[in-house]
Structure 1
Amino acid sequence: MSPGQIAALIAAGAFVLLVLLLAVPLIKLGRTLDEATVALRKAHENADPLFTGANTTLNHVNTQLERVDGITANARAVSGNVSALTSLFTATLGGPLVKAAALSYGVSKAVRARRRAAEEPGKHSRRGRKSRGGRR
């Protein structure tokens, strides 16, 4: 055997050893990828009922939102009607009611003043006026 053949045998042995050393991590990586594939498959199988439930929930929420939109539209119409009715009431009865309230206030104040004047003889019903004698 020549030195070149011995060197070729050593190189071939080193190459076999290198292939064996690299085969172990590759086998482990293959197992890891297999486990990841199984985990993804299980997650996909369990996700279908979850998405179905979420879709059902969203359909119910959309139905309720449509009802709320209807209620909001009705409330808007009612508030508009109340506003119009209030404006009409203010325009037709507001002015006369304010005048009637002012009149009743003035009459009640005059009646009270008159009663006080009747209960206290000798005193004038107007305040702040000086008596003729110079004294009060």
Structure 2
Amino acid sequence: MSPGQIAALVAAGAFVLLVLLMGIALFKLGRTLDEATIAIRKAHQNSDPIFSGANATITHVNTQLERVDGITANARAVTGNVSALTSLFTATLGGPLVKAAALSYGVSKAVRSRRKAAEARVNKHAARRTRRGNR
């Protein structure tokens, strides 16, 4: 056996070892792809109940939103009625109430000023008497 033949045998053995290692890797890769395929199939089968549950939930939410729209419309109508009532109250009673309040304020201010003036006159007379009595 010549050195060239020995090198060829070693190269052939290395090639066989390389083919075996690649075969093992390909076998494992094939099993991994089979498992991935099975997982995808199961996920597809289990997605139908999830989607039907989501559809039921969305239907329920839409029903509730319609109810909320009705409530909102009623609240809007109540707000409009209160606004109309407030403007009616302001138009019919607001003006006279403001006038009555202004009148009562003016009368109370006039009474206070007359009392102060009367007190000032009484104090002025008392001061004159005191001065006359001291002379």
State if a TM-score over 0.5 links the two structures: yes
Structure 2 residue aligned with 1:47: 47
- Counterpart position of 2:120: 129
Task: Tell me which amino acid in the other structure corresponds to 2:115.
Answer: R
Q: CA deviation at 1:126?
A: 2.1
- Cα shift at 1:67: 1.4
State TM-score, norm by structure 2: 0.69
Distance in 2 of aligned mates of 1:104 and 1:14: 117
Task: Provide Cα deviations, 1:76-134, integer angstroms capped at 9, x if missing partner.
Answer: 12201210121111011111233345556788x6xxx8xxxxxxxxxxx8233222633
How far residue 28 of structure 1 moved from its aligned partner, in angstroms, is: 0.7
The alignment of Structure 1 onto Structure 2 pairs a total of residues equal to: 122
Query: What TM-score does the superposition give when structure 1 sets the normalisation length?
Result: 0.69
- 1:94 paired with 2:83, answer no
Cα distance, 1:6 vs structure 2: 6.9
**Residue by residue, what CA displacement relative to the aligned partner does 1:7-30 show, whole Å, maximum 9, x if unpaired?**
666554443332112100110111
Q: Distance in 2 between matches of 1:26 and 1:66?
A: 58
Amino acid at match of 2:126: G
Q: Which has the higher helix share?
A: 2
1:73-92 aligned within 5 A: 73-92=73-92
Indicate the residue corresponding to 1:117 in structure 2: none
Segments of 5+ residues of structure 1 without an aligned counterpart are 114-124
Which structure would you say has the larger RCO, counting Cα contacts within 8 Å and 6 or more residues apart? 1
Q: How large is the RMSD of aligned CA atoms in angstroms?
A: 3.2
Structure 1 residues 1-136: aligned runs within 5 Å: 11-101=11-101, 126-127=115-116, 128-131=119-122, 133-135=125-127
